[in-house]
Amino acid sequence: MVLQFIYSNQDFVTDLSQTGKNGPGVVPSTPTRFDSTLQAGWRDRMDRGLFRYHLGDLQTRILPGPCGFVAQLNVQRGVERRKPQEILSIQQEFNAGQFNFNRINPEEIILEMIKETRPQEDQPCRIIVIVNVSPLEFGHCLFVPDPSLCLPQVLTEFAIRVGIESVLLSSDPGFRVGFNSLGAFASVNHLHLHGYFLAHQLKIESVPVKPLVPERGFYRLEEFPACFLFYTESEHLDEVTKAICQVTDLLVDGDVAHNLFMTRGSLPGDCTQDEKGRSSRKGVRVALWPRISCFGAKEESAINVALCELAGHLPFKNKHDYDRSTEKDVVEIIQRFLLPDEDFLKLEQQLVTHLMGL
């Protein structure tokens, strides 16, 4: 019997803050019911040997430099993880003959998330939370909208909403959720998002951004690596979720690969924000990187540039690269997967026009 986790908007944490530069730096807070349920279920599966390897405390260091990259050594993930599927198109159809989440061991399911709805609202789609058996970090799990629907790895409004709501359900500023499209290092063509805990601040949480269509929560982050950014608090969730989906739909229609990363973040502003404003984590920042597509086998470089790497969290697959890589090395790797500036700015204008016209 799958554990059901029933929640409502009343369970969202809206008064969170974060202190410290790097390192844990998290204001102590009582874990929410969501945190406790997810973490207990994850630890239970780890203790029962359902993972491909035991994840202990990962060796971690902050690379010197303005980007503040958080590097971690995770050799076993590079060795033990399931071989990624061959992806040939961003719009590739679901293939029941390949691995998908209908084939997992049922014991890998931690819980089923169900949101209480008002009578006038549609009934929610089923979403299950399963352990990632090749974890990146503590609590690494997958959010899978009703697996029986056999949806390909293309974001839906419902999936985006559940991702943001999951961040809001946690009292831990280090809980993040993300998505890799096909052509952007997604390993399985079956709709899913990643969630995990990382007890380190990331620069993306608090750097100033440029307004693009602020009335729809749409901004541009100009720090490296530049990305589009949405910001929402719980009361604006409907409008911003819809705007994000309108943008990702446009990217899919244009065959533009993309990565998305959801994290607690400060209100978009400028450098004049005071310390309290910079440490506030009342809302959620949703970073979206359009990028150069990467098809076929994954490139065997020091890092694979996907959702966490773009956000500043770098899981290294071998000790040599972990020990010796500099910020300059990482920037050079990431740069190979980013759109040229001219293409990025052209896409920006297209997205602005699209959002303002809807």
Q: What is the mean pLDDT of each run of 10 residues along the chain (358 residues)?
A: 93 78 52 97 96 92 96 84 79 94 97 80 78 96 96 97 97 96 95 97 93 96 93 95 98 97 88 60 95 73 89 95 96 95 96 91
User: What Cα–Cα distance (Å) separates residue 272 from each residue in 224, 228, 282?
Assistant: 20, 21, 18
Residue 306 in any domain: the answer is: yes
Task: Give the structural domain span for 227.
Answer: 42-356
The enclosing domain of 60 has a CATH number of: 3.30.428.70
Q: How many CB atoms lie within 10 A of CB 141?
A: 28
Strand order in the sheet with 175-180: 4-7, 109-115, 127-131, 141-145, 193-197, 175-180, 257-265, 283-291, 227-232, 218-221, 210-213
d(CA 183, CA 78): 19
Give the residue from 227, 239, 85 showing the smallest Cα distance to 152: 85
In the prediction, which pLDDT does 16 show? 84
In the prediction, which pLDDT does 84 show? 74
Three-point CA angle 48, 128, 79, nearest 5°: 50
Pair 138, 79: CB distance under 8 Å = no
Amino acid letter, 73: L
Residue 231 in any domain: the answer is: yes
Q: Give residue 325's Cα distance to chain centre.
A: 24
Residue 36 in any domain: the answer is: no
Terminal Cα-to-Cα distance of the chain (whole angstroms): 43
In the prediction, which pLDDT does 116 show? 87
Residue 219 phi/psi, 5-degree rounding, is -140, 175
Q: From the candidates 140, 190, 192, 258, which is the catalytic residue? A: 192
Residue 310 in any domain: the answer is: yes
Residue 251 in any domain: the answer is: yes
What would you measure as the largest C-alpha separation in the chain, in angstroms? 58
pTM above threshold 0.85: yes
Residue 164 in any domain: the answer is: yes
How many domains would you assign to the chain? 1
Pair 307, 179: CB distance under 8 Å = yes
Q: Verify whether residue 192 is a known catalytic residue.
A: yes
Amino acid letter, 346: K
Residue 6 in any domain: the answer is: no
Pair 316, 73: CB distance under 8 Å = yes
Amino acid letter, 266: S
Pair 330, 314: CB distance under 8 Å = yes
